[in-house]
Amino acid sequence: MEKSKNMNSTNFIVSKGTMTIETFTDMVKDKLSSHIRGCTLEVQETKKNNGVVLHGIRIREPESNIAPVVYMDDYFKDYQGGRFLDEIVMAVAENYKKNRVISDFDTMNIMDYERVKERICFKVVNTDLNRELLCDVPHVPFCDLSVVFYVLLDSIPWQSASIMVKNSLMDIWGVDTDTIFEKAMYNTPRLLQGKVTPMRNIIESILDDGDDRVDGMLPELEKGSMYVATNEMKSNGASVFLYDSLLSGFADRIGKDFYIIPSSIHELIFLPDDLDMEPEDIRGMIFEVNSTCVDPEEVLSNNVYRYRRETRGVEIA
C-alpha cells in the first residue's frame, strides 16, 4: 500500500509539472461551474498589450451582454508553486462574485458616435511591441509610443470596462483619427484626472507613520525629488504623458526641466533634471527593471524622456 501511495504522489507531481496553461484553464472551468451556477463559462485566449497572450475564462450571466474574463495565468503560477486546485477555484469564484459587473450595457450604443463621443479616451502603448495591434486601430505617433483609443464604459480604481476603438468601428462612426484624437484629448483628463505625488509620501503611506526605514529607502535622493504620476484610476496612468497642464504645471512648480521614467503602462516617475544622474544611467535602470520586475504586458518603454519648459514638450532624452 505504501509503495502504491508513493507512486501516485510521484505521478501527481510529474503531471503537475508538465501540465500546460490550456489544460489547467480547462480544469478550473470544469470545477468553477459548480460554484457559479447559471452562468455560461467559456475558455478564451486574449492578445493583450505588447502582444502578450493571456488565457482566461469568460463568465456570462443570463440575459447579460457584458461577459468579464478572469485570467488564469497568475493562478497557474500559483498552482505550479504548490497551491491546491480546489483552493484556486474557490479564489476565482470569490474574486468574480466580488468584482462582477452588475450593470448592463446596450451594445448598440457603441455604434452611435453621438452617444459615446464624450466617453472616448486614450492610452499610450509601445509602438514596436504592438505593430500587429496598430494595423487594426486608429493611432497617433508619440515619440517611440503610440496613442490608441477606447470607449470608457465604467471605472473604479484598478478596474475598468472599456471597448477598444478599431478601424472598423471608426468607419461605422464616419469620423477620422484626428476627430477621435481631439475628443480623447479633451475627455481623458476630464474623466481620468491626473495626479503627481512625491514618492516619499507613497512610501510613508505604505509603512507605519514615523518608520525610520523611509530615510533608508531613498538614500541618494533628496526629500521630494522623485514623484509618481498617474491617473485617479491608477490604470493606464501613463496616459498623463499627454496631459499638457499636468506636465507644465509640474515643471513650473519645481522651476526646471525634468526627466520622465516610464515605470509601466500604469504610471510614470518624474525626476528633476538637475540630479546627479545621466540619461544613460537612467536608461540602464529602466531596462533592468523592465526585464526583471515589470510584467511583459505592462512594459511601456526602455527609453527615458525629458520635458522642457521652454518648448512645453516631451522628447526622448
Confidence band of 217 (pLDDT split at 50, 70, 90): very low
pLDDT at 126: 97
Full domain range(s) for residue 264: 194-316
Q: In the predicted model, is pLDDT for residue 242 greater than 50?
A: yes
Asked if residue 228 and residue 281 are part of one domain, the reply reads: yes
Q: Where residue 51 falls among pLDDT bands split at 50, 70, 90? A: very high
Structural domain includes residue 125:
yes
Please list the residues that pair with 55 across neighbouring strands.
45
Would the pLDDT of 3 be above 50? no
Contacts of 111 (CB under 8 A, 6+ apart): 169, 172, 173
d(CA 135, CA 130): 9
Domain stop point among 81, 99, 117: 99
Q: In the beta sheet, which residues pair with residue 47?
A: 53
| Residues above pLDDT 90, as percent of the chain | 64
Q: Domain end: 66, 99, 132, which one?
A: 99
Mean pLDDT lowest for which of 32-46, 66-80, 206-220?
206-220
- Assign 110 a pLDDT band (cuts: 50, 70, 90): confident
- Is 5 inside any structural domain? no
- Same domain, yes or no: 91 and 169: no
Which residue type occupies 2?
A: E
pLDDT at 162: 83
pLDDT for the residue 148: 98
Residue where the block lists cell 515619440: 143
What are the pLDDT digits (tens) for 158-201? Answer: 455 788 999 999 999 999 999 999 999 999 999 999 999 988 77
Residue 1 belongs to a domain: no
Q: Which of 99, 122, 151 is the last residue of a domain?
A: 99
Q: pTM of the full predicted structure?
A: 0.78
- Rounded average pLDDT over 211-238: 70
pLDDT at residue number 190: 96
DSSP letters spanning 198-220: EHHHHHHHHSPTT-THHHHHSTT
